[in-house]
Chains A and B, each alone.
Chain A
Amino acid sequence: MAESKIAPKIIPGELAVQGVSKSYGATQFRKEVVHDCSFTIERAKLTVMVGPSGCGKSTLIRLLAGFEQPSAGRISLDGAPITGPDRDRLVLFQETALFPWMTTWDNILYGPRARGELTRDALEFGEFLLAKVGLQDFRDKYPGQLSGGMQRRAELARAMINNPKVMILDEPFRGLDAMTKELMWEYYSRLYEENRRTNFFVTTDIDEAVFLADRVLVMSNIPTQVRAVIDVDLPRPRKLSDLVESDRANDIKKQALSILHAEAMRSFSRGSKAAADFVEAYLKRASRA
Chain B
Amino acid sequence: MKKMLSNPALWRGVVSIAVFLILWEIGARSKQWMAPEFFAPFRELLGAIGLKKDYLPWIGAVPAPSVVLASWIAVLVDRSYWQSWYMSLFRVMAGFLAAMLIGIPFGLMLAVSRVTHGIGFPVFEVLRPIPPLAWVPASIIFWPTQETAIAFITFLGAFYTIVINVLGGARSIDVRYFQAARSMGSSRWDIFRRVILPGTLPSIVVGSAVGMGITWEVVVAAEMISGGGSQIGGTRGGGLGFFIWNSYVGGSYEQIVIGMISIGIAGFASSELLRWGGRHATPWLKAR
Contacts and interface: CB of A to CB of B under 8 A. Distances in A.
B184 A87 contact: yes
Contacts of A99: 177, 180, 194-195, 198
Interface stretch (A107-115, A123-131, A216-224, A274-282): A107-115
B282 interface: yes
Nearest to B197: A101
A99 B201 CA distance: 13
A3 interface: no
Chain B interface residue bracket vs A: 20 to 34
Interface in B189-220: 190, 194-195, 198-199, 201
A89 B183 contact: yes
A196 to B, nearest CB: 22
Contacts of A157: none
Chain A interface residue bracket vs B: 20 to 34
Given A100-B284, A144-B284, A145-B288, A162 B184 contact: yes
A114 B190 contact: yes
Contacts of A65: 179, 183
Interface in A102-120: 102, 110-111, 114-115
A209 interface: no
A142 B283 CA distance: 9
Contacts of A86: 183, 185
A201 B181 CA distance: 20
Interface in A135-152: 141-145
B180 A91 contact: yes
Interface of A: 65-67, 84-87, 89-91, 93, 97, 99-102, 110-111, 114-115, 141-145, 158, 162
Give 4 closest A-B pairs by Cβ, nearest first: A111-B184, A101-B198, A142-B284, A114-B186
Interface of B: 174, 176-177, 179-187, 190, 194-195, 198-199, 201, 282-285, 287-288
7 contacts: A85-B179, A86-B183, A97-B174, A97-B179, A111-B185, A115-B185, A145-B287
